[in-house]
Amino acid sequence: MNSDFVPIGQASKILGVSIQTLRNWEKTGRLLPDFVSAGRTRRYSRRRLLSIAGLTNSETKEDQKVTIAYARVSTNEQKEDLSQQIELLELFCAKNGFTYEVISDLGSGMNYRKKGLKKLLDALLNDKVERLVITHKDRLLRFGAELVFTICETKGVEVIILNKGDETVGFKEELAKDVLEIITVFSAKLYGSRSKKNRELLKKLTETAKDLL
């Protein structure tokens, strides 16, 4: 096959969108493949893709700053919410003509070692990000998001938060779970103390967090 034409997977990487987004664009007529083989394999012109992405043949994707759309949920039970976040982020970025990449995480907002978060921080620190888009501030981190925002400010990265209003019930439940996680981490130390006040405080905090679930 002529290297001037690439399959849908490679096309998605050049444009910085998901394969599903390309399929959606084909359905709506926004971006059609240059041809489809008898076996239904879609092929796209590399030259046309580079032009759409704002690149020349001599430039590589790595040379360009991109928009990072970051999505996160805490548990497997929230995978549907994760899909909705990604869909919303992709719709927003595509509507605004951004060359973007979606990074998603499955893990607590208290976990600073998530794979996706590390990838985001690495891209920020290496000046590969033009803007960061998230649905809510707490999707980034429960505590410490301001530090990431400071890095963005230092690097000249625009931060777009799509929803700045009140959190939904689901977010409040996540907050309660994160508080319980904090309590669990420190419970051994508190119970190890002879202070009755410490034990009573721990009990009240636990009960309050569980009431939110």
Say which of 3, 12, 37, 74 is annotated catalytic. 74
Give the phi and the psi of residue 115 in degrees, each rounded to 5: -60, -45
**One-character DSSP codes across 96-159:** TT--EEEEEEES-TT-TT-HHHHHHHHHHHTT-EEEEEESSGGGT-SS-HHHHHHHHHHHT-EE
State the DSSP code for 57.
T
Does 74 participate in catalysis according to the annotation? yes
Rounded CA-CA distance 114/162 in Å is 22
Q: Are 44 and 109 in contact (CB under 8 A)?
A: no
Rounded CA-CA distance 72/120 in Å is 12
**Interaxial angle between packed helices 196-211 and 169-192, expressed in degrees from 0 to 180 and rounded to the nearest 10:** 160
Residues tagged active-site:
74
